[in-house]
């Protein structure tokens, strides 16, 4: 059997904010492709601990997701 490569787990403390790396000033609720990876299967916002988003951008993300949910672009609950 070919050995499967072991999955490398990234240390959550070493992970950097994906929005800060691109210096994002504002997260738009209309921008579905960027918001989608921060939502889990049930439609909840992923925790900061797992995604590595900084607090500033997590707050922006929260408002964006809430607006998108209201407009019917994202589900409240799956």
Q: Which residues pair with 45 in a beta bridge?
A: 39
By CB under 8 A, which span of 10-18, 22-30, 50-58 interacts with other proteins? 22-30
Instruction: Classify 42 as helix, strand or coil.
Output: coil
Q: Rounded distance, CA 37 to CA 39, Å? A: 6
Q: Is 71 in the site for other proteins (CB under 8 A)?
A: yes
Pick the closer one to other proteins by CB: 26 or 50: 26
Computed on alpha carbons and rounded to an integer, the radius of gyration of the chain in Å comes to 15
Q: Is 46 in the site for other proteins (CB under 8 A)?
A: no
Residues contributing to the site for other proteins (CB under 8 A) = 2, 25-26, 28-33, 43, 67, 69-76
């Amino acid at each position: 059997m070919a050995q499967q490569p072991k999955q490398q787990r990234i240390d959550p403390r070493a992970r950097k904010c994906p929005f800060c790396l691109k210096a994002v000033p504002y997260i738009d609720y209309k921008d579905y492709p960027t918001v989608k990876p921060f939502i889990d299967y049930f439609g909840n916002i992923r925790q900061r601990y797992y995604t590595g988003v900084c607090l500033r951008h997590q707050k922006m993300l929260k408002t964006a997701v809430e607006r998108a949910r209201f407009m019917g672009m994202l589900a409240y609950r799956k």
